[in-house]
């Protein structure tokens, strides 16, 4: 049975990088504009973000729009920052966004949750295109999140996930065993 609790069913994760305030704003504001705030937690990782981006993200965290902000002054790279972002997430689903991904439809979260909820708990990757560099062991894992969090190079994402109707980003149902 899928986990239920006092938290929203999904944590939306956004990874930002560098001197790209416009991309960070587009990704985060698309979530804020198209998703009901009580329906998700928002975790943002900022890899070597410029001062303007940090000011924007820290302002949103202070106002409660970002639940957790992870800042690295140096570029850790995608996978190490992903592990930091994913650490401690206990929601049923994770919806991943790079800073060049965004939501265009106010129904996207509800539709995505409907599709993800209908999937068996063994579904780990949900999306139009995703790649795992360890196919044989990945599909037979008892501890999926442990595996994902331990990988040095885990996924290469195809774009655009949240831009096209019918194209859904990654979800990772938490499996309690």
Structural domains of the chain ordered from first start: 10-150 (3.90.550.10)
DSSP bridge partners of 47: 17, 72
Dihedral angle at the C-alpha atoms of 94, 104, 79, 127, nearest 10 degrees?
60
Burial of 174 (0-12, 13-18, 19+ CB in 10 A): middle
* Number of neighbours of residue 88 by Cβ within 10 angstroms: 9
pLDDT-wise least confident of 43-47, 70-74, 143-147: 143-147
pLDDT-wise least confident of 85-89, 141-145, 155-159: 155-159
124 Cβ contact partners less than 8 Å away, ≥ 6 residues apart = 138, 144, 148, 172, 173
Whether the predicted pLDDT of 83 surpasses 80: yes
User: What pLDDT, on the 0 to 100 scale, is given for residue 101?
Assistant: 87
User: What pLDDT, on the 0 to 100 scale, is given for residue 162?
Assistant: 31
pLDDT tens track for 162-176: 333 333 344 433 332
Cβ-contact 25, 14 below 8 angstroms: no
Smallest CA-to-CA distance from 12 within 161, 175, 165 is with 161
């Amino acid at each position: 049975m899928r986990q239920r609790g006092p938290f929203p069913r999904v944590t939306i994760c956004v990874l930002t990088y560098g001197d790209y305030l416009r991309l960070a704003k587009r990704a985060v504001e698309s979530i804020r504009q198209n998703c009901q705030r009580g329906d998700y937690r928002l975790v943002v990782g900022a890899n070597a973000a410029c001062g303007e981006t940090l000011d924007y993200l820290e302002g949103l965290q202070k106002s409660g729009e970002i639940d957790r902000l992870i800042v690295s002054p140096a570029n850790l790279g995608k996978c190490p920052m992903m592990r930091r972002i994913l650490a401690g997430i206990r929601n049923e689903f994770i919806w991943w966004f790079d800073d060049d991904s965004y939501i265009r439809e106010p129904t996207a979260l509800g539709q995505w949750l409907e599709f993800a909820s209908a999937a068996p708990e063994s579904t780990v990757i949900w999306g139009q295109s995703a790649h795992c560099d360890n196919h044989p062991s990945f599909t037979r894992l008892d501890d999926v999140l442990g595996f994902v969090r331990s990988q040095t190079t885990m996924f290469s994402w195809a774009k655009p996930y949240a831009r096209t109707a019918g194209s859904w980003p990654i979800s990772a149902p938490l499996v309690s065993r």
